[in-house]
Structure 1
Amino acid sequence: MNHNGTTTSRTWLITGASRGFGQAYAAAALARGDRVAATVRASDALDGLRERYPDTLLPLTLDVTDRDAVRAGVAQTEERLGPLDVVVNNAGYGHFGAVEELTPTELRDQIETNLFGVLHVTQAVLPRMRSRGAGHLVQVSSIGGIGAFPNVGAYHASKWALEGLSEALAAEVARFGIRVTIVEPGAFGTDWSGPSARHSTPLDAYDPMREEAAARRAGFGVGDPAAAAHALLEIVDAPEPPLRVLFGAQAPELIRGIYERRLAEWDAWGHLAVRSHGEAEPAGVSAR
């Protein structure tokens, strides 16, 4: 029985399911009787789940940056498990390094996985969803897709781009009965900053910044990916799922602060919006 009390099972495609969020999402969907195709880099990453769900789990060993492999994986999924209902674009990694430290290759690689990987999967499934007039795309972003912090500029660049791409996508495909949800997690117990992460060659000048960033991360409460997975089930079962949703208890307060600071700054410099337009300022707008 599904989370919403119905007995209709769904077919999922979840990328980046080797560990962390991806594996938690797969486990939650399988546990309630859904069918899941899960992409991994190493074929043994899902052995535990495969033993428990041999008939409803399809592991796919592929790299989301390989467009042809993604299209083949989507075709294999629908052939083996049936038409896709939910696609979770979760594959990605974090790159650590100050902007001055980044090499062009490091930034391109970050965007290649976190943005173009999503594009490849999305473009592979959309024609199938459009023909059926249904489907739900879940784009896993981050609070780092809303605000930006030192030492992860490349990651922010990829997630801010993902947010813009996904919001435009949502407006484009709504007429076809396809839903889009951007999930924006805060700090969770994944290996985002561990073995999956990549690092630029450090410059000594930025060592104090790195220490401050590490101390700030240590002060965040760490959420449970399994709890996030059950929250995701609620989203995909909703008749009207949200375009954006925050995961993590500290995320709402953090994001509210970001937007309050932005609004205050825009207001403080609002006179330039009119002045830069080339027209006379209306009454009541001060020159500050």
Structure 2
Amino acid sequence: MANAPCSPRVWFITGAGRGLGRAFVEGALAAGERVVATLRRPEVLRPLVEAHPALLRTLALDVRDRSAVFTVVEQAHAAFGRLDVVINNAGYGLVGAVEEVSEAEAREQMDTNFFGALWVTQAVLPVLRAQRSGHIVQISSVGGVGTMPAFGLYNASKWALEAFSEALAAEVADLGIRVTIAELGGFATDWAWGSMRFASGLPAYDPLRERTFGTTRLPWDMSQQPSDTSADPREAAAALARHLTDEGTRPLRLIVGADAPEHVSMALAKRRDDYRKNPGFAWPA
């Protein structure tokens, strides 16, 4: 039997400086929870630290550095004496057809989106095992279910994240540890702007870019970000908070965002239809 987490819980959140990560931090603080927020530049959260000095700690972390990850997790554990909710949120998008992406860009994408989450997961597991409790949340996206042209390496990083996390869920189920893969749809963050990176384009893929993005320009003009009508990131934080206390169906994959169910359904239908082209294969009833 897992030990019940103390109240308030302790959250460990990566990529906490802006967007979804910051929304997770603010949501936890609003609920009176304790938070260790990690990010490249801790000073950006100084106003939150000043407003919640007893509840919030910030630590500098580049999740690509495995040694640093283990050190920071030790510091986080020492700060509050336990860890209850671990959110692997650090990541970014990369625009580039497979042929266009350089070795350095491909490795950087996987180092951040996949290996960063892996290192954090490995670092927190001894703490959670000793507690016999804890919840690891991997922030994926609908891009972890399907694919989109010019986002192949981003998709690959999220597919890899989901694969090891599904195996992890089975490995730690008897240890009192719960795993969630959060598949997010569109939210009003700077993911497609300030957090986006771009490979150098080849003219052969300009028609594809025109159809997909409405422009052949790479990178697109970051100073002309349109008004984002996607959902407020606080909605994702609220959905996750509800899921963390859910004692009902407890799905491994949590679909978050009004547009996410349709994207997931379309991706799975496309895969199903492709498998059905194979003689002798029958899609499970």
**Alpha-carbon spacing, 1:76–1:267, altered in 2? closer, same or farther (3 Å):** same
Task: Between 9-18 and 254-263, report the one with greater CA deviation.
Answer: 254-263
Alpha-carbon distance, 1:208 to partner: 2.1
| Partner residue, 2:25 | 26
Alpha-carbon distance, 1:8 to partner: 2.4
2:256 equivalent to 1:256: no
Greater Cα radius of gyration, structure 1 or 2? 1
Residue identity matched to 2:236:
A
2:37 equivalent to 1:38: yes
Q: Whole-Å Cα distance in 1 between the matches of residues 164 and 6 of structure 2?
A: 33
**TM-score scaled by length of structure 2:** 0.89
2:236 equivalent to 1:228: yes
C-alpha distance after superposition, 1:21-64 (max 9, x if no partner):
10000000011100000111112221221121111111011101
Alpha-carbon distance, 1:7 to partner: 9.2
Q: Whole-Å Cα distance in 2 between the matches of residues 156 and 254 of structure 1?
A: 14
Q: Partner of 1:270: helix, strand, or coil?
A: coil
Alpha-carbon distance, 1:211 to partner: 2.4
C-alpha distance after superposition, 1:122-170 (max 9, x if no partner):
0111011111111100000110000000111110110000010100000
Alpha-carbon distance, 1:186 to partner: 1.0
C-alpha distance after superposition, 1:61-103 (max 9, x if no partner):
1101111211111111111122000000000111111111011
Alpha-carbon distance, 1:270 to partner: 3.3
Residue identity matched to 2:252:
L
C-alpha distance after superposition, 1:167-193 (max 9, x if no partner):
000000001010000001111111111
Q: Partner of 2:12: helix, strand, or coil?
A: strand
Q: Partner of 1:223: helix, strand, or coil?
A: coil
Residue identity matched to 2:247:
P
Residue identity matched to 1:111:
M
| Partner residue, 2:93 | 94
State whether residues 145 and 268 of structure 2, in contact with CA within 8 Å, keep that contact through their aligned partners in structure 1: no
C-alpha distance after superposition, 1:222-263 (max 9, x if no partner):
111011101111111122532001111111112112212222
2:147 equivalent to 1:148: yes
Q: Whole-Å Cα distance in 2 between the matches of residues 118 and 147 of structure 1?
A: 20
Residue identity matched to 2:19:
G
Q: Whole-Å Cα distance in 1 between the matches of residues 115 and 6 of structure 2?
A: 35
2:67 equivalent to 1:58: no
Q: Partner of 1:201: helix, strand, or coil?
A: coil
| Partner residue, 1:109 | 108
State whether residues 20 and 190 of structure 1, in contact with CA within 8 Å, keep that contact through their aligned partners in structure 2: yes
Q: Whole-Å Cα distance in 1 between the matches of residues 48 and 148 of structure 2?
A: 36
2:277 equivalent to 1:268: yes
2:170 equivalent to 1:162: no
**Alpha-carbon spacing, 1:120–1:59, altered in 2? closer, same or farther (3 Å):** same
State whether residues 11 and 34 of structure 1, in contact with CA within 8 Å, keep that contact through their aligned partners in structure 2: yes
Displacement over 4 Å in runs of 4+? none
Among all aligned residue pairs of Structure 1 and Structure 2, give the percentage whose two residues are the same amino acid: 49
Q: Whole-Å Cα distance in 2 between the matches of residues 7 and 161 of structure 1?
A: 32
2:255 to 243, 246, 254: 246
Q: Whole-Å Cα distance in 2 between the matches of residues 148 and 140 of structure 1?
A: 17
Q: Partner of 1:268: helix, strand, or coil?
A: coil
Q: Whole-Å Cα distance in 1 between the matches of residues 37 and 200 of structure 2?
A: 33
Alpha-carbon distance, 1:212 to partner: 2.2
Residue identity matched to 1:252:
P
Task: Between 257-266 and 80-89, report the one with greater CA deviation.
Answer: 257-266
Q: Partner of 2:99: helix, strand, or coil?
A: helix
Structure 2 residue runs of 5 or longer lacking an equivalent are 216-225
What is the aligned-residue RMSD (CA, Å)?
A: 1.9
Q: Whole-Å Cα distance in 2 between the matches of residues 187 and 42 of structure 1?
A: 25
| Partner residue, 2:223 | none
Q: Whole-Å Cα distance in 2 between the matches of residues 264 and 55 of structure 1?
A: 54
Q: Whole-Å Cα distance in 2 between the matches of residues 257 and 66 of structure 1?
A: 36
Alpha-carbon distance, 1:215 to partner: 4.7
State whether residues 95 and 199 of structure 2, in contact with CA within 8 Å, keep that contact through their aligned partners in structure 1: yes
